Structure 1
Amino acid sequence: MLLMRKFLSLFLSVIIISTFNISAIALEINEDLKIKQNKVRNLDEIYVAKVIDGDTIKTAAGKKIRFIGVDTPEIGSFNKKVEYYGKKASKFTTEKLEGKMVYLDYDVKKYDKYKRILAYVFLKDGTFFNAKLLKAGYAELLTMPPNVNYVELFKELVKEARENKRGLWDKDKDSDKQLPIISWKKADEYIGKKVIIKGEVIDTYDSGEAIFLNFSKEYWNTFSAVIFSRDEYKFSINPTQYYLHKKVRIKGKIKKYKEAPEIIIQEPVQIKIED
């Protein structure tokens, strides 16, 4: 019976590895965001026939390659609106990759639900292209578990790009001068509108999935600001402690959730402590 269990365990492991094409180990990336030349030769070589957008390419055989860990702004295809910096990101990828040979490395999961190949892309000189997109501000971080080989590197690159306002981070489409400044008590009157809300955070709560900044003891039916756990890494401080008992200004679009108004804080620049 014990021998049979060991055999079944080994059999299942083989199935899992075959299904997800598990990569052996993350490659060593130097400070110039490159791998050693001898490592490039061990990767899958493909010809980029077409760049679809900033984070997706197509091979001569018609296969689509989706870059792991990055998300460039939309360029208006497939009935999606054009997003800020989308065209520039697409142009950058086109200039660097289209009509050239590139080299692919993979992670645990090789395909997404659209049957696109999920890959890390390297140039002939060893440049890690996914990382370059993040460092230059052409893309945001998009974590794709279980494909997380370079997630810590990617987080650092995004943080650096954001702090230095590179690329898509150098924007403020909703200038403070253009938005109405209101008290949190009037949030209900501005559902669906972009505003700047003023008030004091009197209570905070971390559910594990999100952090809630509350402005009233009756938080269930009054305004709250929400920071989802997927965005917490962007903050260099602990929001639950840092904003508690502080007067703040929060910028964003007011939405209604369970009859209460809220603003989703996706970027640290959306919230500022008042002097």
Structure 2
Amino acid sequence: MIMRKKFSGISLTLLLLLLVALMASDKSQAAKRLPLKAQVGSVWDGDTFTIHGVGRIRIMGIDTPEVSGKLKAAEPFADTARDATEKLLMGGGKSIFLIKEKGGQDRDVFKRPLRYIELQDGRDVGEELLKQGLALVYVGKGFSRSARYFKAEMRARSDKLGVWSEKNPHWLVKQKAAIHHVGDFRIVQGRVKAAAKVGSWIYLNYGKDYKKDFTVSIKIRDWKKHFRKVYKDPQQLVGQRIEVRGRIGLRNGAMIRARHPDQIQKME
């Protein structure tokens, strides 16, 4: 009986390992099956659409106004952004091209494939939405088209197009108001009052009280890998008016974690 139980336990462990391996293989095969050229099935919102047999695809490098959900009303220009994306992707029934970032992030936090989307005439869909003021540059872990995407966004901001035509664009948040936007992707504006290294983190504080005021957090490993190419030392940012973009979290007040220097832009 003891030997039988022992072998039974070993068999169960092997079965579980086999199932895990098969699941991993299925995910790998699904990623390989993602087409390079396809026709769009439907458009969910300004930055997400579906392809038959594949599911939802997230457009790389941008974030558009959120459509309405169970607990939140639609953000300004959400329907306009969705309509613009639908017109770009489905106009004329032509196929689109899905382009993977080389060596970059393959999927978002919801496991949706991240891809640049190009039309048959060569236009980049993400860039087109930025030009119309219907999208923000979404940096994430950095990407190769960031320079041209930022150029498109800044021109739309200057020309007051789309969301930027609002008197107070909802994407722009002052540091004291950031606490009211936890969970949202926003650009927080303010002046860095202090910079500190604590353990494995660097903190850029927008106010005197780090427990209440807005803070930017940066892992020291990220600083060494990315930020040090732009800033010699965190103290360089003290006294500077900056805007930082990202999803606002909550830890001793409102906070954005910066993983890449493109998330931080000087305002002066």
TM class, shorter-chain normalised?
Answer: 0.5 to 0.7
Matched, 1:213 2:206: yes
- Taking the aligned partners of 1:263 and 1:117, their CA distance within structure 2 comes to 27
Matched, 1:164 2:159: yes
Please tell me the residue identity of whatever aligns with 1:123: L
* Change over 3 Å in CA distance of 1:49–1:227 after alignment to 2: same
* C-alpha displacement of 1:68: 0.5
Quick one: which of 100, 123, 127 aligns to 2:94?
Answer: 100
* C-alpha displacement of 1:79: 4.3
**Which TM-score applies when normalising by structure 2?**
0.55
Matched, 1:131 2:124: no
- Paired residue secondary structure (1:103): strand
Quick one: which of 55, 60, 63 aligns to 1:68?
Answer: 60
**Which TM-score applies when normalising by structure 1?**
0.53
- Taking the aligned partners of 2:205 and 2:216, their CA distance within structure 1 comes to 7
Matched, 1:142 2:138: yes
* C-alpha displacement of 1:225: 5.0
Matched, 1:122 2:118: yes
* Larger fraction in helix: 2
* C-alpha displacement of 1:139: 0.8
Quick one: which of 97, 110, 118 aligns to 2:106?
Answer: 110
* C-alpha displacement of 1:156: 2.5
* Change over 3 Å in CA distance of 1:263–1:70 after alignment to 2: closer
* Change over 3 Å in CA distance of 1:55–1:226 after alignment to 2: same
* C-alpha displacement of 1:72: 0.5
- Paired residue secondary structure (2:40): strand
* C-alpha displacement of 1:116: 2.0
Identity %: 23
- Paired residue secondary structure (1:57): strand
- Paired residue secondary structure (1:48): coil
Please tell me the residue identity of whatever aligns with 2:159: N
- Are the equivalent residues in 2 in contact too, given 1:191–1:256 (CA < 8 A)? no
- Paired residue secondary structure (1:124): coil
Quick one: which of 31, 48, 53 aligns to 1:56?
Answer: 48
- Are the equivalent residues in 1 in contact too, given 2:88–2:125 (CA < 8 A)? no
User: Gapped runs of 5+ residues in structure 1?
Assistant: 1-17, 22-42, 176-186, 195-200, 234-238, 247-254
- Taking the aligned partners of 2:162 and 2:216, their CA distance within structure 1 comes to 23
- Taking the aligned partners of 2:132 and 2:165, their CA distance within structure 1 comes to 11
Q: Deviations over 1:110-155 (max 9, x none)?
A: 333434221100111000111111122111111232x612122222
Q: Deviations over 1:216-259 (max 9, x none)?
A: xxx457x6454567xxx9xxxxx98898499xxxxxxxx9964x
Quick one: which of 124, 148, 152 aligns to 2:147?
Answer: 152
Moved more, 78-87 or 61-70: 78-87
Size of the aligned set, in residue pairs, is 200
- Taking the aligned partners of 1:245 and 1:44, their CA distance within structure 2 comes to 44
* Change over 3 Å in CA distance of 1:129–1:204 after alignment to 2: same
- Taking the aligned partners of 2:68 and 2:160, their CA distance within structure 1 comes to 24
1:82 matched residue in structure 2? 74
- Are the equivalent residues in 2 in contact too, given 1:63–1:117 (CA < 8 A)? no
- Taking the aligned partners of 2:78 and 2:132, their CA distance within structure 1 comes to 13
Please tell me the residue identity of whatever aligns with 1:139: A
- Are the equivalent residues in 2 in contact too, given 1:54–1:86 (CA < 8 A)? yes
- Are the equivalent residues in 2 in contact too, given 1:224–1:262 (CA < 8 A)? yes
- Taking the aligned partners of 2:194 and 2:135, their CA distance within structure 1 comes to 31
* C-alpha displacement of 1:168: 1.3
